[in-house]
Amino acid sequence: MTDERIDLRSDTVTAPTRAMRAAMAEAPVGDDQYGEDPSVNALQERVAALLGKDAAIFLPSGTMANQVALRTLTRPGDDVIVSRECHAVWHETGGSAANSGVQFTEIGSRGTFTADEFVAAIKPRGHVIYPPTTLVEIENTHNRSGGVIFPQQEAERICVAARDRQIATFLDGARLWNVMAATGMPLATLAAPFDLVAVALSKGLGAPGGSLLAGARDLIATATRYRRMFGGAMRQSGLYAAAGLYALEHHLARLVEDHANAQLIARRLAESPRIRIDPATVQTNIIVFHLADGAPDAATVVARASARGVLLFAFGPRMVRAVTHRDLPRAQCERAAAVLLEVVARD
């Protein structure tokens, strides 16, 4: 019964395919610190074009992309306005305080906030008491809120309000590909309002690693310095870049399947009176569900499912997260839902 492992912990667990490995093996490479890696250069140009920005740089991880963006756009002591439970606050081991010396103000709910909420949270510059707000960051899709899409019109309003007040704007778009897949909006439209935009290759796209940061040429030049300062400047990173180029070519269009599979799991789970989930709130490939009173707690559900080969994360005492991805075909998602329904039904 446990011979088949169904890993719903994250879309980062995907393994490079044989064809992706072949593309990596054949990639032309050079020393990227001299700007001489043709594969890295090609990926950077491709992603800059997709996002409608002047330039982009390759970084080893999404966390470093976020850290470099914050360092580029803020000074120590500054205030950064973010959505509640964003990646930078919860998943980067306090890096923003350590590397950039900034403080966060979390606003809104369920991963989004309005332009009015943003304006109300801004602290003025040049005041003897207030920490100046110099950056607003939006996470799209929002990980901890369950892959929620940030409403684009509101993002545009927020960025206009920011620009009027000389506040910089940053989009943590680690899963921006999923927004495009779900809404049909071009990446360049989603990225347009922001000064800097980060995207990840290691999530739904299935590459073994790497993220990119894109923006205006002067900002990317500054970011390139901080990438080096933070230890993220690499050499023949074209091996990774080739995987990224392959993923953009072959794995982007199929993200809609992950979303359909997430819908399937959410609808099945909603059948149980012991699970609280509204499938309409599952917009992309992340399913966050709550265990109703009387149901076992999240740790118990995760342990029981794991014993049956279905891997998930407890995201709170009574909250569980499941993520669909390219290594989980529909049949495995159906089986995972059936196992979850069984383990929550037990007392």
Ligand X SMILES: *Cc1c(COP(=O)(O)O)cnc(C)c1O
Piece in contact with ligand X (CB under 6 A), picked from 57-65, 182-190, 279-287, 325-333: 57-65
- Is-contact 124 149, C-beta < 8 A? no
Q: Which of 79, 85, 172, 257 binds ligand X (CB under 6 A)?
A: 172
Site track for ligand X across 199-238, x = CB under 6 A: -x-xx-------x---------------------------
Spell out the residues 6+ positions from residue 231 whose beta carbon is closer than 8 angstroms to its own: none
- Shortest reach from residue 190's CB to ligand X, in Å: 14
Containing 340, the helix (H) or strand (E) segment is helix 330-345
Confirm or reject binding of residue 285 to ligand X (CB under 6 A).
no
Instruction: Report in angstroms how near the CB of residue 2 gets to ligand X at its nearest.
Output: 28
Total of residues contacting ligand X (CB under 6 A): 13
Q: Report the amino acid identity of residue 227.
A: R
173-202 positions binding ligand X, by CB under 6 A? 174, 200, 202
What H or E segment, with its residue span, contains residue 189?
A: helix 187-191
CB of 91 to ligand X, least distance (A): 7
CA-CA distance, 293 to 276, in Å (whole number)? Answer: 10
Q: Which amino acid, residue 294? A: G
CA distance 59 to 213: 8
Q: Which of residues 63, 96, 100, 145 is near ligand X by CB under 6 A?
A: 63
For position 87 contacting ligand X by CB under 6 A, the verdict is yes
In angstroms, give the least distance from the CB of 202 to ligand X. Answer: 5
Indicate the residue among 108 and 132 with the shorter CB distance to ligand X.
Answer: 108
DSSP label at 8? -
Nearest C-alpha neighbor of 271 from the set 332, 323, 345, 346? 345
Residues in contact with 128: Cβ distance below 8 Å, sequence separation at least 6, in sequence order: none
Other beta carbons within 10 angstroms of residue 12's beta carbon come to: 16
Which residues pair with residue 57 across a beta bridge? 213
For ligand X, the closer of residues 224 and 285 by Cβ is: 285
Here's the x/- map for ligand X, 66-85, by CB under 6 A: it reads as x-------------------
62 binds ligand X (CB under 6 A): yes
Binding site for ligand X (CB under 6 A): 61-63, 66, 87, 139, 143, 172, 174, 200, 202-203, 211
